[in-house]
Amino acid sequence: MAIFFIKFFLTIFCVIALSEVAKRIHPAVAGILMGLPLNAAISSYFFHYEQGFDFLMKTIPWGIAGLSSTMVFALAYLWAGRLCRALPRGVQICVAALAALLSWGAFGLVLQQIPMNLPVAVCVFILATAGNLKALKRFPYQGDKTSNAASSVRIMLFRAAVAGASISLVTGFANIIGVAWSGIAGTFPAFMFPLMIVLHFEDGGKAYPGVIHAYSYSVTNLLLFYLGMYVLLPPLGIHIAYIILYVASALYLWRLGRFRARLARN
């Protein structure tokens, strides 16, 4: 029980801090920040702590492949939100959330039918990323900004509770759901999902697409994070590997943010 609450409150701290920074600046910044290995790192750390090193290493290919489910999730939310934008906002959010969750689960089931290893997982990720970027061209984003007002305590706790519960449950039941679902579920967008819902509720369809568009690029950092874990964990151990990978992630996302800013200006 103590480990559950450690995971839960660690996640709460991360999601409140990052989502508030993102909301006050720009949705695209939120999407870039979602490329930080937060969900993946917390899930992986507790897989290692609770299930052991071998279990964690086996989940890495599934985690890489599972990133494609996250892209499907975000795209389904965007598509459903646009499709029913004439409906009341609460109905839009419910329909979009349901479409996203069902799409994520269905794609996860498809992934489990594939004999998964590291090269196959990377190929799945590359194909999914290319398809996702092509599909997003049908949903152009105009660069709208959120209102920069501070979120209420209730909204912050909602975001944190969704993220904390998702990660705590996935890692806590890893020995029951097995390696494949643990790896896939470890990439569930526990930080992005509540943020999109809140932005959708507060700003309609103006802001949350920016999170999705930027995430379609920053998700490449999560691929690099998983590959880095696969290479660095055996010789260095999880703590030193995480320090190196977080520094590398921050530098990569900083450069990616500058690259996207140049694209936007052009």
Question: What is residue 46's predicted lDDT score, i.e. its pLDDT?
Answer: 75
Answer for the pair 220, 129: CB distance below 8 angstroms, yes or no.
yes
Location of structure tokens 């959708």: 200
Is 182 part of a structural domain of the chain? yes
Is 163 part of a structural domain of the chain? yes
Question: What is residue 2's predicted lDDT score, i.e. its pLDDT?
Answer: 45
Is 57 part of a structural domain of the chain? yes
Is 147 part of a structural domain of the chain? no
Which pTM was predicted? 0.80
Q: How many CB atoms lie within 10 A of CB 215?
A: 24
Answer for the pair 54, 266: CB distance below 8 angstroms, yes or no.
no
3-state secondary structure 190-252: CCHHHHHHHHHHHHCCCCHHHHHHHHHHHHHHHHHHHHHHHHHHHHHCHHHHHHHHHHHHHHH
Is 162 part of a structural domain of the chain? yes
Question: What is residue 68's predicted lDDT score, i.e. its pLDDT?
Answer: 94
Is 148 part of a structural domain of the chain? no
Is 206 part of a structural domain of the chain? yes
Rounded to whole angstroms, how far apart are CA atoms 114 and 83? 31
Is 196 part of a structural domain of the chain? yes
Domain span including residue 114: 2-142+153-265
Domain count of the fold of the chain: 1
Q: What is the pLDDT along the chain (266 residues), one digit of tens a residue?
A: 444 555 556 666 666 665 566 555 555 555 566 566 777 777 787 777 777 888 889 889 999 999 999 999 999 999 998 888 888 888 888 899 899 989 998 999 999 999 899 999 999 999 999 999 999 888 776 655 555 555 555 666 665 565 555 555 544 554 566 778 788 888 888 777 877 887 787 777 777 888 888 888 888 889 999 999 999 989 998 889 989 988 888 888 877 777 665 655 55
Location of structure tokens 């949705």: 27
